[in-house]
Chain A
Amino acid sequence: MKGLLIKDLKIVASQKRFFFIAILFSVIFAWTGEDVTFASTYLVLIISMLTLTTISHDDFNGGMLFILTLPTTRKIYTKEKYIFAFLNLMLGALCSILVCVIIGTIKGSSIPWAAIISSTAGITLAMGFMLAVTIPLEFKFGVEKGRIAMITAVAIIFLVGAGGYKLLTDVFHVDLKSTVAELISKLPSNGQLVEIIIGSLMFVLLLAMLFVSYLISNKIMKKKEF
């Protein structure tokens, strides 16, 4: 596991120019833009994509064959990818908050904590979902076909979601908006407590998505022939 993590870090390090440009852009966005949250979402997006970059590199020119002849197993490889993905998501979130706070402090403006944290948490969860869908698809179909499968899967999820919403509102006449508003109004009035509850739920949801995705990937890798 340690060797595989070092390998992935080395791959990331080999992309340091790209990494530097990404941070530079996010600093520019945070500095020039009125809305610092754009910079935060941009950084999380870029850093979390690093996991997929390492999968592409592993897959390139018989790389997986080499990796699987090393003292590792398919299970360890899969586990390492998810640990790496989780660490990237956390690193992305941390970097985005840091960039926004540092730039905000330098500019002397007040730091919109709620906006920064909520946008970072939202994009981290969204990217976690994207990885949870993409990783098993890339393991199953390879990097190229996996990306196409991912786009198809996201489209299907969107269509099912939109269809479900339409079905509930138009056919079953459920007023979803007021139901959600009602649910939110039932939450404790202490704003900080609500944020902690929602934050924790999002974190648990992120872990759950990655765990379910890991179980699926494990099954795929167990059967895959190279």
Chain B
Amino acid sequence: MLLKLEHVKKEYDSFKLDCSLEVKKGQVTGLVGSNGAGKSTTFKSILGLIFPDEGNIELLGKDISAITASDKEEIGVVLTEANVCEYLTAKDLIPIMKAMYKDFSTEDYMDKCKAYGIPLKKIIKDFSTGMKAKLKVILAMSHNAKLLILDEPTAGLDVIMRNELLDMLRDYMENEERGILISSHISTDLEGLCDDIYMIANGKIIMHEETDVLLSEYGVLKLTKEQYETVDKAYILSSKEEKFGYLCLTNQKDFYMENYPEIAIEKGNIDDFIILMEKGVRK
């Protein structure tokens, strides 16, 4: 196990986090949720940037309070709010990273900067949003980390850059000892990358499922009011009232296809599932 959170709680004035999740070796785990759902608070708790009120965090097999500076060499991090010292250049970062990480590869870093169009001698402050985002990911992957913790790494990237970055992450996962925890508000990014996905809303994990199951067995039922009254609700996770009747999220799409052929059923995507789980009435 690379990462385990057990009821990590943190309370602010108008927000309460209560999060449990796991990241296993060889797996890419996604965390999805709308803005303010608790993704960044979860990431900051894992990285010791804020202190949870309750709960346990186990990072690389150790309690988070026992994590040393050298343990952190095994972790590569991208945080939305965190930025590389912006008055330096990408080249200036080489001796810093070399002094920080035993496994930092200058050659690999330079190659990646070249491949992804990162200028080495330009001040980072003058980079475009996309270039800054790519540099952060390149740095996180430059030192052979076992665990990548990536909070919205694709934010600010266009579709081509996003795909390039996702390819980089897939290549990174060729080593089975590694794992990734990634969040994104662009759920299609996660559909093609993650092995399992946690959904978070109002600080709570409201769903955890393997991506394959999510995409093959989950679906959205479009029911009239009459259909909604009569249908078997055993496999309905959440329902939301609409003008025409009800939208319902099910984790047994096939059951309704077989037993209620008259019902309109859509395959749906993770965005639809998030909306239904967040805005609908959950079982």
- Please list the residues of chain A having a beta carbon within 8 angstroms of any beta carbon in chain B: 2-3, 6-7, 10-11, 14, 57-58, 60-63, 65-73, 76, 225-226
> Do A60 and B86 touch (CB < 8 A)?
yes
CB-CB < 8 A to B77: which residues of A?
69
* Complex Cα spacing A187 to B167, Å: 76
* Complex Cα spacing A3 to B69, Å: 12
Interface of A is mostly: helix
> Do A3 and B96 touch (CB < 8 A)?
yes
CB-CB < 8 A to B123: which residues of A?
14
Quick check: is B16 within 8 A (CB to CB) of the other chain? no
CB-CB < 8 A to A71: which residues of B?
69-73, 100-101
> Do A3 and B47 touch (CB < 8 A)?
no
> Do B88 and A14 touch (CB < 8 A)?
yes
Quick check: is B95 within 8 A (CB to CB) of the other chain? yes
- Please list the residues of chain B having a beta carbon within 8 angstroms of any beta carbon in chain A: 44, 47-51, 68-73, 75, 77, 79, 81-88, 92, 95-101, 123
A66 to chain B, nearest CB (A): 4
What are 15 residue pairs bridging A and B, where the CB atoms are less than 8 Å apart in the complex?
A10-B88, A10-B92, A14-B87, A14-B123, A60-B83, A60-B87, A63-B84, A66-B83, A68-B47, A70-B100, A71-B70, A72-B72, A76-B69, A225-B49, A226-B44
CB-CB < 8 A to B101: which residues of A?
71
> Do B83 and A6 touch (CB < 8 A)?
no
* Complex Cα spacing A180 to B123, Å: 54
* Complex Cα spacing A157 to B75, Å: 45
Interface of B is mostly: loop
> Do B96 and A62 touch (CB < 8 A)?
no
Name 6 extra pairs, CB < 8 A, besides A57-B85, A62-B79. Answer: A10-B95, A57-B87, A65-B83, A66-B79, A66-B85, A225-B50
CB-CB < 8 A to B48: which residues of A?
68
> Do A63 and B100 touch (CB < 8 A)?
no
CB-CB < 8 A to B99: which residues of A?
2-3, 6
> Do B82 and A69 touch (CB < 8 A)?
yes
* Residue from the set A14, A66, A72 with the largest chain B CB neighbour count within 10 Å: A66
CB-based nearest A residue for B81: A62
* Complex Cα spacing A213 to B30, Å: 43
> Do B69 and A11 touch (CB < 8 A)?
no
CB-based nearest A residue for B124: A61
CB-CB < 8 A to B96: which residues of A?
3, 6-7, 10
> Do A61 and B83 touch (CB < 8 A)?
yes
CB-CB < 8 A to A6: which residues of B?
95-96, 99
> Do A62 and B82 touch (CB < 8 A)?
yes
* Complex Cα spacing A73 to B65, Å: 11
CB-CB < 8 A to A68: which residues of B?
47-49
Contacts known (A70-B100, A225-B49); A63 close to B85, Cβ less than 8 A: yes
B146 to chain A, nearest CB (A): 13
* Complex Cα spacing A14 to B44, Å: 30
> Do A61 and B86 touch (CB < 8 A)?
yes
* Complex Cα spacing A152 to B206, Å: 49
* Complex Cα spacing A10 to B84, Å: 13
CB-based nearest B residue for A61: B83
Partner of B51, one of A10, A57, A65, A225: A225
* Residue from the set B44, B82, B101 with the largest chain A CB neighbour count within 10 Å: B82
B260 to chain A, nearest CB (A): 50
CB-CB < 8 A to B97: which residues of A?
3
B208 to chain A, nearest CB (A): 25
* Residue from the set A69, A73, A226 with the largest chain B CB neighbour count within 10 Å: A69
> Do B49 and A65 touch (CB < 8 A)?
yes
* Complex Cα spacing A65 to B86, Å: 13
* Complex Cα spacing A60 to B83, Å: 8
CB-based nearest A residue for B92: A10
CB-CB < 8 A to A67: which residues of B?
85
Contacts known (A6-B99, A10-B96, A72-B72); A66 close to B82, Cβ less than 8 A: yes
B111 to chain A, nearest CB (A): 22
* Complex Cα spacing A2 to B100, Å: 7
Partner of A3, one of B44, B68, B86, B100: B100
> Do A63 and B83 touch (CB < 8 A)?
yes
CB-based nearest B residue for A11: B87
Partner of B84, one of A3, A14, A66, A72: A66
